[in-house]
Chain A
Amino acid sequence: MEKSFFARNPSVLIFIGCLALFTIGVTAMSEAMGTDVISTSFLKTLGKTLCLCLVAIAMDLIWGFAGILSLGHMAFFGLGGYMVGMWLMYARTEMIVVASMANAEIPPTAQEVVDAIGTQIFGVVGSSDFPVIWAFADSLFQQLLLVVAVPGLLALVFGWLAFRSRVTGVYLSILTQAMTLALALYLFQNDSGLRGNNGLSGLQNLPGADAIPQAQISLWFFWASAFALGLGYLLAAWVVSGKFGSVIRGIRDDEARVRFLGYSVEGYKLFVFTLTAVIAAIAGALYYPQAGIINPAEIAPIASIYLAVWVAIGGRGRLYGAVIGAAFVSLLSTWFTGGQAPSIPLGFYTINWVDWWQVLLGISFVLVTLFAPKGIGGLVDHLTGRVSPERYGADLGPDSGSLQEQEAEK
């Protein structure tokens, strides 16, 4: 008899357990519960980190399991944020506008309300008309659908074009990077309809929740992020555990062989690409209400590359690796760039971490790639005694990956 899903994947239960403990612990220490150990701003940072862990899982699925180094997933993340941000901004501005117009002697017409909202939102880019893409912004449900639909559709179309023409490897990476750049440049324009480089702001204020303190709202978002992360982890683990997982790992290791075995490689790739794009978008939709502001700089290619960095440092090809990497690096990054890390005086020069953190990150990234390709997650292998053979020296055979000199000597 086949063992159950959880029995085959013990790490899932361990992860869910850890996440639940973490969530309960943080909740107990949060400001909203009156204990005040964790400030609201740090609670937000933790909530955002959970969202980053979720997008890292998506990245791990596409890169660590399917072998596609996408440098565009933060674009889907940002798009998700934009979609939810549109509703947040519209609904909140509507409330403000309606409240201010209620004092007028003559009740406003529906058109006047919409015009006033438009002036409020787009005044900053010198416009007052609602662009077409805001057509659904007045409905939370429709806009939440768009959170999934817009990035999903973009990923579907882009992936279909790219995989169909058999663009693989580094070419695909560059192509996804180009897509991200194109999107970011487009959003930077003032007439893109999404407020140009001002982006959408004030997203931390939920419409109609002015009476509820931020501490409480942050906690809700923290719970939602934790729940989404747990669900996302479960989904990803389920996807990679069965036959489907075997096929996409096969594609990663030798695409041509899988194709000759009769699998529709393009279909599998497209599915994983779109699925991960949707996961990224959901993560983004949870992230930006906690961050409060989104602008096109968040979509710049560099963000997607950082995502790859997190996954690589955490250890790709294992889901908990991605989570560890994203949490570890992003929290460390917040610590260093926030000016909390102590400076190191060298006598002739003082190392100020705000300036040198990027250098440290870059170098440690090179070191991880060179010496610890398994990343932090590789430590788990050491603990469990799963050590891969030490392979040094030149290849003996004609292909890479064949038996190597020092292995043969043993």
Chain B
Amino acid sequence: MTRLIMAALAALMLCVSMAAAQDSPIQALLQEHRVLIEESSRKTIQPAIDALRDSGFPEAQAVLEKWQAKDLWQREADKLFFFVEKVDSKNYRLLDIATGEAAGEFPKKELNQLKPNSGVRSLIGAALVQFQLMAKDPAKRIEALDAIQRDPAAEHLVALSGAIAKETDPDIRDRKERLVRLLTISFGETEEARIAAIESFKGDLGVDVRGALNPLVATSREVAVGTLPEGVNIAAVLKPGSTAFSEAEAYDLLVSKDLVLPRITAADRRAALQENITDARVGGVPVAQLNTEEARERAYQALAEAGLVRAAATQAQIAEALAAHVFFEKYAEPSAAITEAANDTLSSINTQVGFNQFIDLTLDAMSLASIYFLAAIGLAITFGVMGVINMAHGEFIMMGAYTGYVVQQVIPDYTVSIIVALPLAFAVTFAAGVAMERLVIRWLYNRPLETLLATFGISIALQQLAKNIFGTQARPLTSPAWLDGALVLNDVVSISYIRIAIFVLALIFLGVFLFIMRRTRLGLEVRAVTQNPRMAASMGINPDRINMLTFGLGSGIAGIAGVAIGLYAKVTSELGSDYIVQSFMTVVVGGVGNIWGTLLGASMIGFLQKGIEWMNPSNTLAAQTYMIIFIIIFIQFRPRGIIALKGRAAGD
């Protein structure tokens, strides 16, 4: 009795679950297209997918995803569709596609797995894109847009157009609209729509636009007998023998189209001759005489006439073949109107790109100039104001950079460590500068060439010391996280924050220098001692003290510059010597003894170097070479620099 009731209950439950499964509207929809789904052919499946996609049922996406992933199953008994869960190797638990409720366990052989082929799966994928484009989560929508952009296809165009109207986020909406235009360029239905889309991108800097337009104007080289063919979108007619299209290229084209006999390369001919040596002769020519190209050609022709080697085209045949054919470049895109519009848009884009590249180059040049300025401003004080050649200046820059490195080892927080490192680097190099001035330089004030040599001795000693202490490998000086990344204005113009920081630092230094020299007692005394030390001394200024402080100041600034330079270059013991010649150049070109001159000199060298690099982008070494040559010539015309001191202050 009990067993009977149980069986009845079970049967009832099965009925209920079956009824529920059958009742859900999505199941009904699937049943409606059951035949198509079972057939699962790329040619016929589209209506079923469209029906699901346009059904508006919340489960439609899940069904499509499962279907695509071969996770949709069918119960053989009543042909209903289910999701499944594996119980063991033989049994699966069915889950209702609408509610996700369990609908009993069944042995595997009573179930059918739907296995759509790859063609069907890609159709399902295209339908799914629409769901992703309308997903609630904006991140998902952006992800979908990225996916389309990576792999554009014609079917996305419809889905994308459909997804614009309901978009709420204005940014994503803009992106969608842009992407629609972008897809229209390649997949638009009418020529007018495509041309309109192409023209809408005039002056647009996006790399994606160029990516979409360039295939339209891609050309291939073609050849025709006699006259140009009709009905072909021809980009240009090529003349064999011009610089862009040599005769050899033209003939190779003919050969590649199997229109003429191939030529033979010197190496092949040599190999062919070698194979046909008989009794120390080839084609009647003695082997010993085969040491000229003419003799070899003669021998080869003799062989060809005898049929021993394949015939090769002679010069006369080549000329004849070239004259008999026309060569032209053909667009892959058949419509002339579209290629014309694409060319128009591309040229307007290129103008824009060129303009923006110029801005980018200017920004680059400015940042390079500020680096040179930073490296040279300390020299502008020691060399420019005091007239002391300090070859160890570069090593002071290096000391500053290493100070920054050591501080970072002690203080792990990069922001704090930079804030500590800047004044500490100043203190260290100020002390080093003062020590050097006291111990060495003050004995040599009247002997500038010997100052150069003595400070050079210090420079090599310091460099080797740094090598002994820190090793030869480069040490990192990491910039704080807020200096990472770049300020991106558009796809062409961008500048890293660290370069902006260095630029700002250079401006601050300029300000500090001007303030010290013009507004403080020290500056007044420095200027007095520079102009006339004896007179200054009789006015109660101690020239020794002033010289010491000035030298210390110049060295200290070199230390701070070292921290700044170390942030974007690796810190090595050779860091300073990389900059020393350029720094001296900056000061000399600008004009000794004038901070504005140093600024101008740094700008000139920075812009010049970037300009030369732009003309010959592959080769920065050559850029430096040409720059130095330019400076040597420049010195011819303005031996005292851009801003030359006049009168007594000019010295000798």
Contacts and interface: CB of A to CB of B under 8 A. Distances in A.
A151 to B, nearest CB: 17
Interface in B246-276: 270, 273-274
Contact of A355 (B444, B456, B467): B467
A169 B274 CA distance: 68
A175 B584 CA distance: 9
A365 B457 contact: yes
Contacts of B624: 181-182, 185
A104 B463 CA distance: 56
A108 B424 CA distance: 70
Interface in B422-457: 440, 443-444, 446, 448-450, 452-454, 456-457
B444 A370 contact: yes
Interface string B40-59: 00000000000000000000
A189 B619 contact: yes
How many chain B residues sit at the interface, stated as a range, is 35 or more
Given A109-B292, A169-B449, A301 B468 contact: no
B148 interface: no
Given A165-B635, A181-B628, A189-B619, A359 B464 contact: yes
Contacts of B637: 165
A296 to B, nearest CB: 10
Contacts of B460: 358, 361-362, 365
Contact of B463 (A191, A358, A365): A358
Contacts of A174: 389, 581, 584-585, 588
Contacts of A161: 632-633, 636
Contacts of B588: 171, 174-175
A186 B621 contact: yes
A188 B588 CA distance: 26
B452 A365 contact: no
B625 A356 contact: no
Contacts of B467: 355
B542 to A, nearest CB: 14
Nearest to A177: B581
B286 to A, nearest CB: 10
B168 interface: no
Contacts of A158: 632
B584 A369 contact: no
B468 A355 contact: yes
A362 B457 contact: yes
A358 B573 CA distance: 13
Nearest to B622: A189
Given A363-B457, A366-B454, A366-B458, A167 B446 contact: no
Contacts of A302: 577
Interface in A167-185: 167, 169-171, 173-175, 177-179, 181-183, 185
A181 B440 CA distance: 27
B293 A178 contact: no
Nearest to A178: B628
B287 interface: yes
A120 B440 CA distance: 53
A170 B448 contact: yes
Interface in A103-121: 104-111
Nearest to B391: A305
A229 to B, nearest CB: 24
Contact of A400 (B288, B446, B462, B636): B446
B291 A108 contact: yes
A356 to B, nearest CB: 7
B251 to A, nearest CB: 21
B559 to A, nearest CB: 20
A400 B459 CA distance: 28
B631 interface: yes
A107 B288 contact: yes
B461 A363 contact: yes
A309 B453 CA distance: 7
B632 A178 contact: yes
Nearest to B633: A161
B632 A355 contact: no
B636 A165 contact: yes
Given A174-B588, A359-B464, A369-B457, A106 B290 contact: yes
Contacts of A183: 625
Contacts of A110: 291-292
A109 B293 contact: yes
A171 B454 CA distance: 17
A34 interface: no
B29 interface: no
A171 B624 CA distance: 19
A49 to B, nearest CB: 21
B465 interface: yes
A309 B457 contact: yes
Interface string A89-112: 000000000000000111111110
B277 A370 contact: no
A312 to B, nearest CB: 6
Contacts of B443: 370
Interface string B580-620: 01001100100000000000000000000000000000010
A64 to B, nearest CB: 11
Interface in B535-589: 577, 581, 584-585, 588
Contacts of A111: 293
A398 interface: yes
Given A107-B287, A359-B461, A370-B444, A178 B581 contact: yes
A245 interface: no
B74 to A, nearest CB: 63
A169 B448 contact: yes
A174 to B, nearest CB: 5
Contacts of A259: none
Contact of B621 (A69, A188, A401): A188
A181 B581 contact: yes
Contacts of B464: 355-359, 362
A373 interface: yes
Contacts of A188: 621
B285 to A, nearest CB: 10
B632 A69 contact: no
Given A107-B288, A309-B457, A370-B443, A165 B639 contact: yes
Nearest to B627: A182
Contacts of A257: none
Contacts of B147: none
A100 B149 CA distance: 58
A72 B443 CA distance: 27
A281 interface: no
Contacts of B282: 106
B459 A369 contact: no
A302 B443 CA distance: 25
A314 B440 CA distance: 20
Instruction: Give the most central of B462, B465, B534, B639: most A CB within 10 Å.
Output: B639
B288 A366 contact: no
A71 B274 CA distance: 58
Interface string A357-395: 111011111100110010000000000000000000000
A302 B449 CA distance: 16
A106 B581 contact: no
B629 interface: yes
Given A107-B288, A362-B458, A369-B444, A186 B622 contact: yes
24 contacts: A105-B274, A105-B277, A106-B282, A107-B288, A107-B291, A108-B291, A109-B292, A110-B291, A158-B632, A170-B452, A174-B581, A175-B632, A175-B635, A178-B585, A182-B624, A185-B622, A185-B628, A186-B622, A358-B463, A359-B461, A359-B465, A361-B460, A366-B454, A401-B446
Given A107-B288, A110-B291, A174-B584, 4 more contacts: A69-B452, A69-B453, A170-B449, A356-B464
Interface of A: 69, 104-111, 158, 161-162, 164-167, 169-171, 173-175, 177-179, 181-183, 185-186, 188-189, 191, 301-302, 305, 308-309, 312, 355-359, 361-366, 369-370, 373, 398, 400-401
Among all A-B residue pairs, the 10 with the closest Cβ atoms: A362-B461, A365-B457, A358-B464, A182-B628, A107-B291, A366-B457, A362-B460, A369-B454, A186-B625, A400-B446
